[in-house]
Structure 1
């Protein structure tokens, strides 16, 4: 069965366009933080949860207030995934599974709003952040207060799933079978350890590939325009980051029909 896919923005952060692509102008812009809602008839899968108002609450305390000082955020209750689902008459209890691409606050802000959901992420991603607190957490953009108390009781790891079919140059994938549809989980290293994307072949008119923070400026898929030196400095591994963008570039050339969804793509100004 073809799932229904909706992409929404949960808020934004303000920074310079050059941070995402060095050929861009030196001007301040708003980078949205998108999440994906994937629906089968009576159950829902989320790709990340975006921001939520509790993120702003955490930003009021030290040392996490330094995060907002460096990367100002704009978060409203009406933009949260919880509010979106309620506005559509979708019960929060229908959210059966949340795929966490990685553990930055603009991807996990809404986890606590879904006490019935199961969680799926890379073991590598969780191991990288789970014991961090204070400045050690902040240094990796992790807010431990966003993690539900029973998180590990509801957690499964991508690495434990069966191997999936190759997706162009991405050869080490995993397959998730959920509600009669096969989903391909794709490792996207470089930005932070354990980052994964989600590829959906059977997504209606065009296949959809959620690529998380593999790149911030979607034009890099074509132009291979990398972030400036500051933007590259905040990546965990520059070599892997560049290699991931090269693979995405190769995939786009080979399969132009794929719709690539980057979390902070400024051209995604409304749900589609």
Structure 2
């Protein structure tokens, strides 16, 4: 009986000691990425502003008869001596909303040549986001896999493949992005998979040292009324994916306390400096 009591006491003591020892948990990822080469973000003009009738931007008829001022924006991210151009705007064709100044000429204001653009990141395949892509054939095109499947199909719908001819012909470097993509490999510039507007749609997260995290929507939402109410355009390719992407994007924005820039909303123009100035 004495042995049984002693054994029980030993077990109880062991359990008590174990309860006091806590297994280390995985570290919480930092809101900002580790330091590296200087990172900056600029807004480029990619089309003249228009006032858009936005009835078709809601599949519940919530926007019928309403008009919203639209802008067309592209973005230059510089990391040290490397460049990512995010979206390439409208083509340089006659009439609004074509840009007044090409991306090539805008970049020349800071002495940046087309061949210096390392990556051309495309939020999605619509023409107002790929119109000047062919001006940067030396860049590696980063595009959602679902979008590339459409662009490279025999009968693409909703896009003009001619704008991506350097990559379709195999002469330029291409990387299709199925999920998220850490563009420079240091956790500070990340393509976020946000499908629904198109099958391979992506948004962009840029973690700046002074400004803090910035989220560029692509066309996840075109203007504040839709962003705030989870409105879904009638021409989106997948309603359920759109709502899931909005949910993910908003949770990331809240977690990181990020500045959200809706690329088409004129009210967001002032959130980032116009090129050649830059946020850091």
TM-score after normalising by structure 2: 0.72
Give the distance between the partners of 1:128 and 1:253, measured in 2 at CA.
33
Shift in Å, 1:26 = 2.8
Residue 224 of structure 1 is matched in structure 2 by: 229
Which of residues 190, 203, 209 is equivalent to 2:215?
Answer: 209
- Structure 1 equivalent of residue 76 of structure 2: 37
Aligned to 1:155: 174
Q: Residues 84-123 of structure 1 correspond to what in structure 2 (within 5 A)?
A: 84-123=106-145
Task: Provide closer, same or farther for how the CA distance between residues 198 and 76 of structure 1 changes in structure 2, counting only shifts above 3 A.
Answer: closer
Instruction: Indicate if the aligned counterparts of 2:191 and 2:203 stay in contact, CA closer than 8 A.
Output: yes
Name the residue aligned to 2:53: 16
Instruction: State the TM-score, normalized to the length of structure 1.
Output: 0.74
Give the 3 Å change call, closer, same or farther, for CA 238–147 of structure 1 in structure 2.
same
Q: Which ranges in structure 1 are unaligned for 5 or more consecutive residues?
A: 58-71, 160-171
* CA spacing shift, 1:182–1:29, aligned 2, 3 Å: closer
Count of equivalent residues: 231
Q: Does residue 49 of structure 1 match 2:71?
A: no
Any gaps of 5 or more consecutive residues in structure 2?
Answer: 1-36, 274-280
- Pairing of 1:1-272 with structure 2 (within 5 A): 1-11=37-47, 12=49, 14-20=51-57, 26-53=65-92, 56=93, 73-78=96-101, 80-133=102-155, 137=156, 140-151=157-168, 152=170, 153-159=172-178, 173-177=180-184, 182-221=188-227, 223-227=228-232, 232-255=233-256, 257-270=257-270, 271-272=272-273
1:127-179 deviations in whole A, cap 9, x for unaligned?
1221244xxx4xx32012212334444101223xxxxxxxxxxxx6332325x
Note if contact 1:23-1:225 (Cα within 8 Å) is conserved in structure 2.
no
For the 8 Å contact 2:125–2:151, the answer to whether it is kept is yes
Displacement of 1:239: 1.4
Whether contact under 8 Å (2:124, 2:143) holds in the other structure is: yes
Highest CA radius of gyration, 1 or 2?
Answer: 2
Distance 1:74 1:174 in 2: 31
